[in-house]
Structure formats: C-alpha cells, structure tokens
Amino acid sequence: MKILLASLCLISLLVILPCVFSASSSSEDFDFFYFVQQWPGSYCDTQKKCCYPTTGKPAADFGIHGLWPNYKDGTYPSNCDDTKPFDSSTISDLLTSMKKSWPTLACPSGSGEAFWEHEWEKHGTCSESVIDQHEYFQTALSLKQKTDLLGALTKAGINPDGKSYSLESIRDSIKESVGFTPWVECNRDESGNSQLYQVYLCVDRSGSGLIECPVFPHGKCGTEIEFPSF
C-alpha cells in the first residue's frame, strides 16, 4: 500500500510540475524598469548614418528606446516568453503616437514595427506579470510625455545646438524637472567628442511612477558633453 501511494504521489507531482514550470517561465520576475530615451542627433553620429522611417524625419526630440525590466543587482531578464510575439493589432490605437514618440533610425527603418517588435519580445515579455502588450507601450508613451526631457533641458538653457554643456548641469536640470536622478549615457563622435546620447530614468515595478534608481548602468561620460543638433 505504501509503495502504491508513493507511486501515485510521484505521478501527481510529475503532472503538476510541468504546469508550474510553464507558468513561471512565461514571465520572469523583476524589480524595476529602466525607461530609456535616446537623442537622435547622437545616434546618427554614432552610426555614421541613420535612416528615417517611412513617415519622414522624426522631430528633433528625445525618442523612446525602451522600457526595460531590471534587477536590483544590475542584471536583467530577456526574451522571457516566446509564446507572446509582438502583435501590432494590440496597439492599433497607439500607432500614431508610436510613430511620433518611438521612431526608429536604424537602417533599414521602415514603419518602425521591427523596432517595436524587438523591444517587446526582448524586454516587454519579461514584464507580463505586471502589464500586457498594450499597457507596455502605453506606459512608455505616458512616461515620455510626463518627463519631457527636451523641455527640461531647454528651459535650463541647454539646447541641441552642437555646443558642450557640463554633465552636472544636464543631470541637475533633468532632476529638477522630473524629481528623480537620471543616468546619462554618452557616445563619442568621429572627432572623439563626448555626446549626450541616452537618458535613463527608473520606474517602479508596476510601471506607474518614477523612482530613484536602485542601481545605475555601467559607463562614464566626460565632464563636458556635446548636445548635437538633429
């Protein structure tokens, strides 16, 4: 009788475990998001060229790069659920805003959907325990509007005019506007100038609000960085 009960328990366990593993593997847990915005002038300088989407040259404004789930130790999950591919029909009501606020400059550019697909499948699928595909893109669009990085910088007299500004002034101007400390990523142009490239802000796990970053990415800018035109 004991052997029979043990066998039944083992069979039950084997039946249950695949379900548990399937559920846990579909969406990994995480601690917070990096909300990353990119300055197009620096991107084009770094790549030596850039391609405009089919809608034409984007506005001279920070564009969304992504909303990236992250762990407090600085690592991140990726490509968490291959059963939930990007489906543009789920964001049909957002497409006009996406083309304006989340443009792609990679070549070939196209409509931008390839970029959004990459961001959803690499990063968005890791946040499914909190937000679905539509909410993922809607959250990023709302965050861009809320933070208004270009407005924060120009209000402080920091303009995309090819001139150099102190890293401290850029960081402080954004913090004064949004209320939280940003992390600034730089690149270098062909002349070796350090340029303002991307700005990272941290968002709570629910995607509802900005927080102070638990950890910053690796990298370093010069004390003076160029804000290139676009």
* Entry pTM: 0.87
- Per-residue pLDDT, 226: 96
How many residues are given for the chain? 230
224 is catalytic: no
Question: Per the residue annotation, which of 121, 123, 128, 226 is the catalytic one?
Answer: 123
The CATH architecture assigned to 32-227 reads Alpha-Beta Complex (3.90)
65 is catalytic: yes
59 and 112 in contact (C-beta within 8 Å)? no
226 is catalytic: no
Question: Per the residue annotation, which of 65, 121, 128, 226 is the catalytic one?
Answer: 65
Task: List, for residues 48-78, the tens digit of each pLDDT value.
Answer: 678 999 999 999 999 999 999 999 999 999 9
Q: pLDDT truncated to tens, each residue of the chain (230 aa)? A: 444 444 444 444 444 434 333 334 445 589 999 999 999 999 988 776 789 999 999 999 999 999 999 999 999 999 999 999 999 999 999 999 999 999 999 998 899 999 999 999 999 999 999 999 999 999 999 999 999 999 999 999 999 999 999 999 999 999 999 999 999 999 988 888 899 999 999 999 999 999 999 999 998 899 999 999 99
Comparing CA positions, the residue from 185, 210, 215 lying closest to residue 198 is 185
DSSP state of 106: S
Domain ranges (residues) in the chain: 32-227
Buried residues in 147-184 as b, exposed as e (16+ CB within 10 A): bbbbebbeebebebeeeebebeebbebbeebbebbbbb
Task: List, for residues 115-144, the tens digit of each pLDDT value.
Answer: 999 999 999 999 999 999 999 999 999 999
Question: Per the residue annotation, which of 119, 121, 128, 185 is the catalytic one?
Answer: 119
DSSP state of 154: H
